[in-house]
Amino acid sequence: MIKKIKIKTLVIYLLLCFFSLIAIGPTLWIFSCALKSGEEIYAYPPSIIPKNPTLENFAKLQKIRVGQGNMVTATSNGLIVALFATFICLTISTLGGYGLSRMRSPLKSRLLFFIFFVQLVPAIVLTIPLYIWFADLGIIDELIGLIVAYQSFLVPISTAFVKDYIDSVPVELEESALVDGCNRFWAFIRISLPLSAPSIASVAIFAFLHAWEEYLLASVLILTPDKRTPPLQLAAFIGEYMIDWGGIMAGAIWVLIPVVLVFLLLQKYFVAGLTAGAVKA
């Protein structure tokens, strides 16, 4: 019996290692290519480990090319857009999720249906209306335009997520605060908001990642090279007649660093938010 359990455990760990290797394999290959010269990238058969490692591809990211910008400026633009978009999304979705959770109205189900219906609309459908609207407002080729545009697909799903989590927070806790003299707003700030920290962290990671990696709307609304975000700057390595794979691979590693840091900082809250929101109190 013990041998069967050990064999079963061994098989499970072997399968986990196999699927983990499949998952991280592309990232390892990107890192390998980022350290290769252009000749070695195109060499056949390809080598997994670089024969002559070089950092020239990472040096390309800092070079300012005329009419092309550089990755350092793009990173700074991307962080501004992602952080402000995340903050606005958290503010709106937290208040909206709380309101939907505590609402006692026949309109509640219709509002929830509308929120989920909005998520079915592809981002590409919004590009032309947003472009026309932003052109009238004069915020085309402005970072503020991207920040506002991203709320169109960040807020609905984030609001629904926060709503599901706040449903698990006992209403009795807020009622006790109301009896002690708090109004509804301060009961939310002092009771529900701290207890919803895991869901807020999950929404923060979700919003940051989507704002950081979004390409379609950014490619339509941003025209100046100096205002590009990282995904747009990566596309600058694709020329008319050739593709600088080394620069793209190095840029992909560069873009991955903030994502990993954000996830490591909020990992425990992210896991708690994914699991606790599914349990009703």
- Residue 192 is predicted with a pLDDT of 79
- Shared-domain flag, residues 123 and 176: yes
- Residue 247 is predicted with a pLDDT of 83
- Shared-domain flag, residues 167 and 255: yes
- Residue 67 is predicted with a pLDDT of 58
Contacts of 67 (CB under 8 A, 6+ apart): 225
- Shared-domain flag, residues 50 and 39: yes
- Shared-domain flag, residues 96 and 195: yes
Please report whether residue 281 resides in a domain: no
Weakly modelled stretches of the chain, pLDDT under 50: 66, 277-281
- Shared-domain flag, residues 90 and 68: yes
- Residue 161 is predicted with a pLDDT of 85
* Number of domains comprising the chain: 2
- Shared-domain flag, residues 81 and 199: yes
- Shared-domain flag, residues 39 and 111: no
- Residue 271 is predicted with a pLDDT of 62
- Residue 269 is predicted with a pLDDT of 67
- Residue 281 is predicted with a pLDDT of 40
Domain that holds residue 37: 1-54
User: The domain that contains 102 carries what CATH number?
Assistant: 1.10.3720.10
Give the tens place of pLDDT for each residue, 133-170. Answer: 999 888 888 899 999 999 988 888 888 888 888 888 77
- Shared-domain flag, residues 105 and 8: no
Give the tens place of pLDDT for each residue, 167-216. Answer: 887 787 777 777 777 777 787 788 778 887 888 888 888 899 899 989 98
- Shared-domain flag, residues 84 and 211: yes
Rounded to two decimals, the pTM is: 0.81
- Shared-domain flag, residues 156 and 211: yes
